[in-house]
């Protein structure tokens, strides 16, 4: 019997603008090598392709190349004003029909300001439906992230905790202030920091993530296993937290 179920919260597939990146088969091979059961996947070139195309292509890739359905895709959101996406009711219905239970943003590539004025119509519905919104676009842009969360304090969201040695002085105020903030720790190479965050804010706020293909899936796995947390908390962070989040989304 497998010791732990690992559900990777941060993977990317699809060719980049300047160089090829691993596709679905490459990700699944990496998962098999390291013992990862499932993964949440974003398209690597959503900024170049546009949200609509990236969403459609990602669904097609998974349908064609992931017959065991180990992967779940994340859709990209755009402002409502240019009419590129359906109205919220139709958009979230389409998510459900396509088995999509999470969103992300790419405002700095898609050329809009992430705020209530641009995204309020969709994100208010995301809050009601408990759809997790992945905010890795704000990696290294802490001022922008703080401003964004002041406008959406009830958002059920996941922020990037990495940058090699961790960003606790940035992360901890967010975990303290906003109950819906969760942290994925791809690139967060502070094993004792994982234990501290779990003790201070609860293991249910933390998610195992690799950052594939930038990092391999074993690095985050190793530090979680050696974090000093008990087996129950490790199991939550390894995969059960993300599994629960997606099961509750759009209900």
Q: Where are the domains of the chain?
A: 8-246
pLDDT at 45: 78
How much is the pLDDT for 35?
Answer: 95
For the stretch 59-75, pLDDT in tens is 999 999 999 999 999 99
The answer to whether 172 and 221 have CB atoms below 8 angstroms apart is: no
What are the tokens at 30?
């990496």
- β-pair partners for 71: 39
**Dihedral of CA 235/34/60/53: which sign?**
positive
Cβ distance 129 to 156 under 8 Å? no
Segment 26-35, tens digit of pLDDT: 999 999 999 9
* Mean pLDDT calculated for residue range 193-213: 95
Residue pLDDT, tens place only, 125-164: 999 999 999 999 998 899 999 999 999 999 999 999 877 6
For the segment 74-94, the average pLDDT, to the nearest whole number, is 93
Query: Could you tell me which of 7, 2, 1, 3 has the C-alpha nearest to residue 220?
Result: 7
Secondary structure of residue 220 in the 3-state scheme: helix
pLDDT at 226 over 60: yes
Homologous superfamily of 8-246 = Metal-dependent hydrolases (3.20.20.140)
């Amino acid at each position: 019997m497998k010791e732990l179920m690992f559900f990777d919260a941060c993977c990317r597939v699809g060719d980049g603008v300047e160089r090829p990146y691993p596709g679905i088969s490459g990700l699944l091979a990496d998962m098999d090598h390291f013992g990862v059961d499932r993964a949440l996947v974003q398209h690597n070139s959503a900024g170049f392709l546009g949200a609509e195309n990236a969403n459609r292509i990602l669904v097609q890739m998974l349908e064609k190349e992931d017959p065991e359905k180990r992967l779940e895709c994340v859709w990209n959101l755009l402002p409502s004003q240019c009419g590129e996406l359906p109205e919220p009711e139709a958009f979230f219905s389409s998510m459900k029909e396509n088995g999509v239970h999470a969103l992300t943003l790419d405002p700095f590539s898609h050329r809009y300001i992430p705020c209530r004025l641009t995204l309020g119509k969709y994100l208010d519905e995301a809050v009601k439906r408990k759809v997790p919104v992945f905010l890795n676009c704000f990696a290294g842009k802490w001022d922008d992230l703080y401003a964004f969360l002041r406008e959406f304090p009830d958002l059920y969201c996941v922020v990037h905790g990495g940058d090699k040695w961790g960003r606790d002085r940035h992360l901890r105020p967010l975990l303290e202030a906003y109950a819906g903030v969760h942290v994925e720790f791809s690139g967060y190479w502070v094993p004792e920091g994982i234990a501290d965050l779990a003790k201070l804010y609860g293991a249910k706020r933390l998610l195992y993530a690799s950052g594939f293909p930038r990092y391999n899936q074993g690095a985050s796995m190793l530090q979680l296993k050696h974090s000093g947390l008990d087996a129950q908390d490790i199991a939550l962070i390894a995969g059960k937290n993300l599994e629960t989040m997606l099961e509750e989304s759009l209900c």
